[in-house]
Chains A and B, each alone.
Chain A
Amino acid sequence: MPQPEFIQERLKSLNTIDDLLLATLLHASQAVGTIEELKRGNENMKPQFENHARSFYNSLEEATVGLRREIKHLDENVGTRLLPINVNKRATGQDNDKIREQFDKLENELKESS
């Protein structure tokens, strides 16, 4: 089912936030990896560790700022685009879609036979 443009935009930015969060974890693991090298006495790993730590904080910051913005969007649209309550929604639209599909088929059949 195609979503309105605004919601598509939200979903897209949520996807980028997900990517950023994963990048955060990756940078953390890289930073830990470089510190392991540092402990072995490999001093030239220092700038690398610094870089990884910096990108860890950068991506964490970006992700959380984006997430905060998304929560704000959510807050603003309760009442206009979203229902203010939690609904346990079933896929009720599906039967209508199905019936439309069936009628399309019927129409085609009728056209062919006539």
Chain B
Amino acid sequence: MSDRGLLEQLDRTTETLSHSLTHLVKYASITEDKGDEEDEHGTQEIPESTVRTSTAGLMMVNAQTAQLIRGVQDLLVMTRNIREKWLLTQIPDEKIDSQRELDYQKCSQLLEQWTQEVLGTDQG
């Protein structure tokens, strides 16, 4: 069933979304702490490990932000899909069909009237 798939996807995206803000904050603090150390050591001698950690932290922050946005996007796509399902796979009401049949009778009558009129004007 497709709905089970939707539920699973929802669970997964929610989980990543709820984690991503925490991760974001966590990695943000890594970069900043190391940044403070950089100032202490001076700009000339930055230890290689510090550079590595802060760069890694920055990359993680970017990744987490992207994940956050992508998760929300996925959920928006999901609402769109559900909307499409409601609108497109509807079983049509029987009322509409009966309306159509009524229309046909009236239509043939109208057409006849119209042909008469057109022929009448042609003759005259």
Q: Which residues of A are in contact with B by a Cβ distance under 8 Å?
A: 3-4, 7, 10-11, 14, 17-18, 21-22, 24-25, 28, 31-32, 35, 39, 53, 56-57, 60, 63-64, 67-68, 70-71, 74-75, 78, 80-83, 85-87, 89, 96, 99-100, 103, 106-107, 110, 113-114
Contact = CB atoms under 8 A, between A and B. Distances in A.
B122 interface: no
Contacts of A39: 28-29, 32
A65 B90 CA distance: 24
A81 B79 contact: no
A71 B25 contact: no
Contact of B7 (A35, A56, A71, A86): A71
A4 B87 CA distance: 10
15 contacts: A4-B93, A14-B82, A21-B79, A24-B72, A28-B24, A39-B29, A57-B21, A67-B78, A68-B10, A71-B10, A74-B85, A83-B90, A86-B2, A87-B88, A106-B114
Interface of B: 1-3, 6-7, 10, 14, 17-18, 21, 24-25, 28-29, 32, 65, 68-69, 72, 75-76, 78-79, 82-83, 85-91, 93, 100, 103, 106-107, 110-111, 113-114, 117
